[in-house]
């Protein structure tokens, strides 16, 4: 069953030293765009988290928020003196250039990004991922469940609209023969008005009617439209990401309907075509929500 690109999930994981809270939200997007935001000290895990989330999603704009609350520990603080000196030097140069007092204190300096951090070993840093992952999994489970529910609603809406389009297609099919008959009668009446006697060349009328029938025939368009509708029904049952394919199908159906409207010289068919185009526009708007 198709999935929506809209969803939200929240998860938590706790250890003796950390509480991890993860929130993931996704909205419609043409591609698979994933942004991860987490505490600066754990940015080395951003790409890992991004790839992990991307493995479960095909399309959508996804924002991943990871909050880590660490318990007090006895770990040593690591101060990057070289980084602090660089910050101090750059700020001092700026102050001199702008001719303003230099008032950067040590408390402000150590809060600069990268100046001070907990002294964690490589093993401890790798273990952080194991602490984050359960929270991410919980959030992803909720997100996918919501996307699935929204996808089921979309599928139900699609079926209703496709059934209506099929009803309109059948109306066009039923109306099509009458277009040729009406043309033949109008042609005969017109010729009688132009001629002084009642002599009408039926052979000529038959030829003209045949030519018109060939130009105005919409059977091929209606057959292709029927095929597209059945293909659409089949795709919304697919478990794979089919949003782009459905969008393409909508374009193809719209092309067939437009051609039908331009070929058939009939007011009733024009009204049906306008209704079909309106329904197709609504269908395509909904398709933009499909993964």
17 and 89 co-located in one domain: no
201 and 90 co-located in one domain: no
Instruction: Give 10's strand partners.
Output: 23
Domain with 268 in it: 150-287
pLDDT of residue 160: 96
88 and 157 co-located in one domain: no
23 and 62 co-located in one domain: yes
85 and 188 co-located in one domain: no
282 and 206 co-located in one domain: yes
Q: Is residue 283 part of a domain?
A: yes
| Tokens (6 digits) for 245 | 């394919």
Q: Is residue 1 part of a domain?
A: no
d(CA 74, CA 27): 42
SS3 annotation, the chain:
CCCECCEEEEEEEECCCEEEEEEEEEECCCCEEEEEECCHHHHHHHHHHHHHHHCCCCCEEEEEEEEEEECCCCCCEEECHHHHHHHHHHHHHHHHHHCCCCCCCHHHHCCCCCCEEECCCHHHHHHHHHHHHHHHHHHHHHHHHHHHHHHHHHHHHHHHHHHHHHHHHHHHHHHHHHHHHHHHHHHHHHHHHHCCCCCCCHHHHHHHHHHHHHHHCCHHHHHHHHHHHHHHHHHCCCCCCCHHHHHHHHHHHHHHHHHHHHHCCCHHHHHHHHHHHHHHHHHHHHHCCEC
Q: How many domains does the chain have?
A: 3
174 and 155 co-located in one domain: yes
Per-residue pLDDT of the chain (291 residues; tens, 9 = 90+): 899 999 999 999 988 878 999 999 999 998 999 999 998 888 889 999 999 999 999 999 999 999 988 765 555 567 788 888 888 888 888 888 888 887 778 878 787 887 776 555 555 667 888 999 999 999 999 999 999 999 999 999 999 999 999 999 999 988 887 776 666 667 667 766 666 656 666 676 676 666 666 566 788 888 999 999 999 999 998 878 899 999 999 999 999 999 988 887 788 888 999 999 999 999 999 999 999
- 204 φ/ψ angles, rounded to the nearest 5 degrees: -65, -40
Q: Is residue 176 part of a domain?
A: yes
Q: Is residue 83 part of a domain?
A: yes
15 and 127 co-located in one domain: yes
131 and 240 co-located in one domain: no
pLDDT of residue 111: 78
d(CA 7, CA 24): 8
pLDDT of residue 240: 84
Q: Is residue 213 part of a domain?
A: yes
Q: Is residue 165 part of a domain?
A: yes
156 and 92 co-located in one domain: no
pLDDT of residue 146: 96
161 and 279 co-located in one domain: yes
Contact criterion met (CB below 8 Å) for 63 and 93: no
> Which CATH number does the domain housing residue 138 bear?
3.30.230
140 and 263 co-located in one domain: no
How wide is the angle at C-alpha 118 spanned by C-alphas 135 and 64, nearest 5°? 30
Q: Is residue 114 part of a domain?
A: no
């Amino acid at each position: 069953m198709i999935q929506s690109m809209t969803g939200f999930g929240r998860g938590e994981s706790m250890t003796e030293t950390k509480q991890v809270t993860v929130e993931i939200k996704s909205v419609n997007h043409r591609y698979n765009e994933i942004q991860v935001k987490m505490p600066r000290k754990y940015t080395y895990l951003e790409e890992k988290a991004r790839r992990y989330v991307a493995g479960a999603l095909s399309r959508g704009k996804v924002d991943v928020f990871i909050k880590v609350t660490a318990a007090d520990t006895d770990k040593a603080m690591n101060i990057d003196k070289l980084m602090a000196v660089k910050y101090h030097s750059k700020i001092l140069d700026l102050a001199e250039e702008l001719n303003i007092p230099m008032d950067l204190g040590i408390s402000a300096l150590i809060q600069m990004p990268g100046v001070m951090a907990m002294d964690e070993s490589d093993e401890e840093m790798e273990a952080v991922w194991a602490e984050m992952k359960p929270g991410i999994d919980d959030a992803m489970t909720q997100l996918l469940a919501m996307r699935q529910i929204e996808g089921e609603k979309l599928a139900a809406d699609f079926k209703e609209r496709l059934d209506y389009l099929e009803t309109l297609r059948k109306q066009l099919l039923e109306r099509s023969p009458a277009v040729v008959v009406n043309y033949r009668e109008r042609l005969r009446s017109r010729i009688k008005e132009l001629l002084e006697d009642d002599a009408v060349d039926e052979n000529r009328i038959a030829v003209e009617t045949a030519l018109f029938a060939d130009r105005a025939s919409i059977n091929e368009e209606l057959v292709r439209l029927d095929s597209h509708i059945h293909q659409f029904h089949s795709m919304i049952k697919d478990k794979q990401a089919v949003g782009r394919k459905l969008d393409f199908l909508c374009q193809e159906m719209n092309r067939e309907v437009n051609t039908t409207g331009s070929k058939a010289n009939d007011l009733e068919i024009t009204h049906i075509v306008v209704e079909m185009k309106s329904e197709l526009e609504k269908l395509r708007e909904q398709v933009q929500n499909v993964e």
